[in-house]
Amino acid sequence: MQPKHTEQDDARLHAALNAADWPLLTRLCRQTLRKNGRHLTAHRLLGFSLNKQRDFDGALKAYKQARIYWPDDAEMLVNYANILIEHAYNIDALPLLEKVCALRPLQAIAWIKLAECCYLINLHDKGFAASQEAAKLADTLHDQVAALMQSAIHRRELGQVREAVHDCEKAIALRPNDPGNYTNRLLFMLADPQVDASQLSVAARHFGSVFEPPLRPEWPHFDAHRGPPWRRLKIGFLSPDFRVHAVMYSVEGLLAQLDRRQFEVYAFFLFPRSDHVTDRVERHVDHFVRLAGFTPEQQAKAIHAQGIDILIDLAGHTGNNG
């Protein structure tokens, strides 16, 4: 039986969590840990709360400390791994999730997260095997759809393109309002030599029929962008690939050479990690705006706030798109 003060601390922590009051949750976690350095709930939530406030370094420090006290707590390890994956530190998340699968081998979510982790680090056989284990264990709609998504993305990388598309279609049938499976289906169909333009058009129109109607009232009007003909146009490029990526072989030169007498150039970056190519892009453009980690609504608001005249999407239906 937990001591009464521990139950009270837990109640306050969960109330702040449910209210999404991240500064309060952070303060309560720290207060609780000062009283009891091993308090499990506070260790589980402190790093999570700091990450919600975009303090990644603080979140890492909190979870490293938590892992010292609770090395076998699966919930804490999953929270830790989620943050690492969110910031593209998948190689560091891998051993955490392997341990979670060992601790909770009958929970589908453990295998789903392991499969997700494997994608960015090209462990596709391992990721596909994890997705199939998750599919066998999935007993909720959420887990069934997530297992199919992971199966599809790893199948595509393993050359099983048609099977990947079928997994996407199964997931869409189960959850018709999840955009990820639509966008994956459209991307994967491009790799199938038996798919023709009419089939791609049908799939694209299906995507649009589901997701465009609720967004149309928010679509911008361009009257406000009219101005004198000699005004420099604000050109925005939206991409997760301003980094070491094939896209930059064709785009980097364009960014560097656009005529600044005619254009003011913005780069909206959707990936959480930078590299030496990112550093070059920051010098090529007039404004470099990081949008990783924000919701689609927040990303759209940030782009609108810049008064962009022309926005060019470089990602299409590829990973980490906007």
Instruction: Name the class of domain 1-105.
Output: mainly alpha
Average pLDDT over every residue of 298-319: 93
pLDDT at 18: 96
pLDDT value at 161 more than 60: yes
DSSP element (H, E) containing 289: strand 287-290
* Among the ranges given (62-71, 200-209, 227-236, 242-251), the one the predictor scored with the smallest mean pLDDT: 227-236
The three-class DSSP label of residue 220 is coil
pLDDT value at 73 more than 50: yes
Q: Output the DSSP codes for 70-127.
A: -TT-HHHHHHHHHHHHHTT-HHHHHHHHHHHHHH-TT-HHHHHHHHHHHHHTT-HHHH
Question: Token pair for residue 165?
Answer: 């598309």
Residue in 90, 29, 111, 100 with CA at minimum distance from that of residue 70:
100
Among 124-128, 192-196, 213-217, the range with the most confident prediction by mean pLDDT is 124-128
Residue in 104, 175, 118, 103 with CA at minimum distance from that of residue 143:
175
Q: Yes or no: is domain 111-219 CATH 3.10.20.30?
A: no
* Complete edge-to-edge strand list for the sheet that includes strand 310-313: 287-290, 263-269, 233-239, 310-313
Choose between 217 and 117: higher pLDDT.
117
Residue spans of the domains in the chain: they are 1-105, 111-219, 220-313
pLDDT at 225: 72
Report pTM.
Answer: 0.89
pLDDT value at 190 more than 70: yes
Q: Report how far residue 7's alpha carbon sits from residue 9's, in angstroms, rounded to the nearest whole number.
A: 5
Average pLDDT over every residue of 176-182: 95
Question: What are the tens digits of pLDDT across the range 253-276?
Answer: 999 999 999 999 999 999 999 999
Same fold, 1-105 and 111-219: yes
pLDDT at 1: 44
pLDDT at 99: 98
pLDDT at 198: 97
Residue identified by tokens 């094939």 is 246
pLDDT value at 202 more than 70: yes
User: CATH code for 220-313?
Assistant: 3.40.50.11380
pLDDT at 7: 81
pLDDT grade, residue 5 (50/70/90)? low
Specify the length of the chain in residues: 322
Q: Report the percentage of the chain scoring pLDDT > 70.
A: 98
pLDDT grade, residue 113 (50/70/90)? very high
Average pLDDT over every residue of 70-88: 97
Neighbours of 130 (CB within 10 A): 27
